[in-house]
Structure 1
Amino acid sequence: MTTLLNIDNSPGKAKKQALAFFELAFRPFFLLASLFSIIALLAWSAILNGNLNLNVYGGSFWWHTHEMLFGFVAAIIVGFLLTAVQNWTGVQSIHGKSLALLVCLWLVGRALFLFPAVVPVWLIAFVDIMFLPISAVALARPIIKVKLWRNLMFIPILLVMTLANITMHYSVIEPSVELMTTASTTMVLLVTLVMCIMGGRVFPMFTANGTQTARVNAIPLLEKIAIISTLLALIISLNLIKVPALINAIIFFIAAAAHVVRAYRWKIWVTLKTPLVWSLHLSYWCIALGLLLFGLAELTATVTHSQAVHTLTVGAMGTMILSMISRVSLGHTGRAIIASKVMTVAFIAIISAVIIRVFGSYWFSNYNLVINFAVVLWTIAYGSFVVLYFPILTKPNARN
């Protein structure tokens, strides 16, 4: 009885909870994109197993590739940037009805892919393509307002992502597997470049703060080599000019080596008792491994392009995103930045997913079994986030 009498059913309280979800971009995009990734991967697994006959725009393989990159990853990046820009500038970022409209645009883009026989191709492409440039405009406004030019670099990055997305859609309209591969690989390496830039900015700080150890100072030359070599790897992926495979491989090897040295200097061994930090470190080691595999794929058939790509997508992106959205969601809602036991299991699950997805074909002859196992592990990882963080992301800040 006492509990019932203490419940606050006031209109003001209900309105506050309703508005909280669209208070900042991280709330809807982190939650909905994570849920979408689970649905999309379960559908992909069902299609491969012959349990689901889904007529999607671009075909099932194109749809899987596009939606994990331009549906899931792009939404997380936008959610992160549109949240971070408020901290960078002190100017209120997109929120309320404007944010709700942006989220709706993203959701409609995901839904239209399921109706290629009903909705015109040009409309499906247009709605999906517009998400990133509109997000770029929302990001640019507070940056330009306070003239914080250093962070303006994220605007061209979002616009290049838009060009990659346009190319992906063009590969459907004028069918071309080569164009699709080029566009998707470009997106993978562009996101990798963003992770390298952001990693250098925040990983040493997160490590020092989370482990109470001395912060590792950057070596300027190493930082330049790591970023420039990754940028060169991105440029050659555009296939604008034909570059010999050996040259491609050398560029990837240099980038991988630079990131190995960078990651080693950040001392993963001091983070083993701090899941929100060691998960970030492991994601960065996946960047180095993925670039190494890209180089090896240029020279030998023992390593495939798919293995290299999935080391960067499932390993680097999947792990870093899960760790970062967990950290950001806690910090921006006034909670202690400490991983629960559930999220620690989730981090272990996502790392296990990349091991199975990338190397499982060496151990299992059944390709579908490898995919299914990896999808189950991804579902455990991101399902844990969705369930645990649903109340955190949909309710007002803990300190309010």
Structure 2
Amino acid sequence: MALRLGTSRRLASSAAALPLALGGMIGGGAVLGMAPAAAAAGPWSLVGVVVAAVTAGCAATATSYQAQHYPGGAAVYAASRSRLGVLPARITSSAHLAGHVAALAAVAGALGELLLPAAAGPTGAVAVLLVVLAATAGLRIRGGAAWAWLLLMFGVLAIVVVLCWAIPPVPAMAGDRSGADEAVGIPGAAGLLFFAFLGFERLSAPEPDDDRFTPRASGRAVLLALVVAAVVLLALGWSALHQLGAARLALSAVPLRDLLGAAAAAELAPLLCTAAAVALLPVLLAVLESARPTTTAAVDDGDLPGALRRFGAHGTPYVQDLLVGGAAAVLVLLVDPVVAMAVASCCLLVHHAFGSAAARVLLADERRWPTRAACAGMGLSVVLLMSMPIAAMLATLAVVIVGPVVMGAVSRRWS
């Protein structure tokens, strides 16, 4: 196990990228996604996991082919700018940046709820700032450390699943229903659970200087990550529905803690919740790192201030990190983690909808399967986006209006 100090430009191998991508998917989604998905679709939320995974798979396919033409982590942005135009690219980059700020706030809020429920907001804000400082100092989690943290999260979730099935659940009272147990809620649940599959761009759009990460290796890594994440979420969601029922799960603020209480394992809750909170720390670092490529590309194109391109002694864009982390810390104090998760999902669905549209144009004269995947990804992203909570859609609408206006003012170019 090794914690290595290095520059943000040095790329890890696919073996290191896989646990980081998987940890980002499973960590945030498992802790945050179960309760709101159950509120949206009740037991049908398990179907939502599958729909979200298919949507992510289509988006990953589009991103992978874009990365072959526009290498690097900003492949979606670069393809959107080249194939769709300046305005779609600005919408894409605005949604990407805002989505990562909201994702940081969501994961940090979940960490706070697990670690110190009485002061969840301040705890989450402090966690974000500590991760930003660590990133600015050049800390990167790679090698055995990445796998160890992933196994820690797997271990916590495995224990919770086993305990959920260890004793029979309390029988539901007459008339105790979720209020949302029809299939019509599946798109809403899938839109929220899309958050659980974010992070695949680490695998589908690696940096260009890693010759070990071939397109075939990238495709296999993406498929493995999505399948594993879906299986884990299905197992956890099924266990939670079995033990709590859809009604109680939908009302749960901290499902992991409530599941342990329902399974007569409340004495294990402090230990397991602390372990889960610790396992979320690398997720915060991964989200922060994932925000950099698109933001840096927008700076290079003149749409954002050049100060965001400044690198510190360890090669990290410290101004970017401080601004993104500061915004996320404020958001943690103001917004519930589930709301932040919904906003993150909305923004990143917009990002991938435009990315899939750009991939469709890029692949118009090429192989049929990637083209169909891009079309499906675009359509599914729009459907899930339109099924999200109104507040999250309004926040995303504000982002896609204000972001391009600000970028136009900064660059003094409108086309």
Q: Shared fold by TM > 0.5?
A: no
Which TM-score applies when normalising by structure 2? 0.27
TM-score (norm 1): 0.28
Bigger radius of gyration among the two = 1
